[in-house]
Amino acid sequence: MPELTYREAVRRAMVEEMRRDDRVFLMGEEVGHYQGAYKVSQGMLEEFGEDRVVDTPISENGFAGVGVGAAMCGLKPIIEFMTWNFSLVAIDQIINSAAKMLYMSGGQFNIPCVFRGPNGAGGLLGAQHSQALESYYVHCPGLIVLAPATPHDACGLLKTAIRGNNPVIFMESEVLYNTSGTVPDQEYTIPIGKADVKRQGSDFTIVTWSRALHYVLEALPLLEKAGFNPEIVDLRSLRPLDEASVYESVKKTNRVMIVEESWPQASMGSHLSDLIARHCFDYLDAPVARVHQADTPMPYAANLEKLSLPDAHKILQAAEELMA
């Protein structure tokens, strides 16, 4: 299989779906003539034209609302936020319109709309541009929330999301755009709501997603050197959540660690901790361990940003405490 970067995998998914279905279009800030703030949409304006690759004003609430309206009228918009931090300006459209429209219309209006862009810490971007916001959207019924960690998963999941009939929150990571991975030549999709066991193990389960998977993979040599044999479960889909795969792994290993990039309070990790405690209580030999960002706004300084985020040594320390 050839290797693609994460950005190339996302672009491939959009291009293939736009070729397949002329109802699909891309809209957002700088997606056209500038070819994307992170060059994810490079070459798409040339192929599809300004009717289907639409540059917008700096007005997230406005173009998110246009996307919802277009979806109500039978189109399939892909709405790109330059960063998910900017989605906070449009959260009314996402939560009160996109997520609730099918319910409030009595089933009359599906919203086949994908909202996508980079999530989490971006690297020296400061507190207002380095937030992992998945828990904001996982909280809301009516939304699908996806957070793929690899080019393979990003391409397959994005194609599935575009083909669906529901509003999807598709969270990429800015720092993953240059990472590479194998992607099949042939067209493929990945089902939503299915986790992937990236590594089989026996000592404890690590549950993670998005960029946090890469923290775990960086920690793996240290864990193995310390004599630990972890099982790694990449959720990929946060809502719906593959609870069965998590429980199966925890019941096998009897210990679990959750690694995430977001804050600890009311996060996806705290929700998982609750689920595991209630459904796997009799199988647990230790409390659920958690590794996450420090409970503080993201510092701008490089050394403080690094201290704030999860890393291999924090994961190793949590493993040592988990297995003590």
End-to-end CA distance of the chain: 42
- The answer to whether 129 is a known catalytic residue is yes
**Rounded-to-10 torsion of CA 259, 288, 170, 189:** 100
Q: Sign of the C-alpha dihedral, residues 65, 70, 71, 73? A: positive
Separation of alpha carbons 139 and 91, rounded Å: 13
Q: How far is CA 41 from the centre of its chain?
A: 18
The 10 Å CB-count burial string (b at 16+, else e) for 214-228 is bbbeebbeebeeeeb
Separation of alpha carbons 155 and 157, rounded Å: 6
3-state SS class at 248? helix
- The answer to whether 214 is a known catalytic residue is no
The 10 Å CB-count burial string (b at 16+, else e) for 6-25 is bbbbbbbbbbbbbeeeebbb
Catalytic position from the list 60, 172, 260, 261: 60
**Could you tell me if 324 and 235 are in contact, meaning their C-beta atoms sit under 8 angstroms apart?**
no
Residue among 53, 14, 51 at smallest CA distance from 33: 53
Catalytic position from the list 129, 152, 214, 292: 129
Alpha-carbon distances, residue 321 vs 182, 188, 285, 291, 315 (angstroms) = 35, 41, 12, 12, 10
Separation of alpha carbons 92 and 197, rounded Å: 35
Separation of alpha carbons 210 and 171, rounded Å: 8
Q: Which residues are catalytic?
A: 60, 129
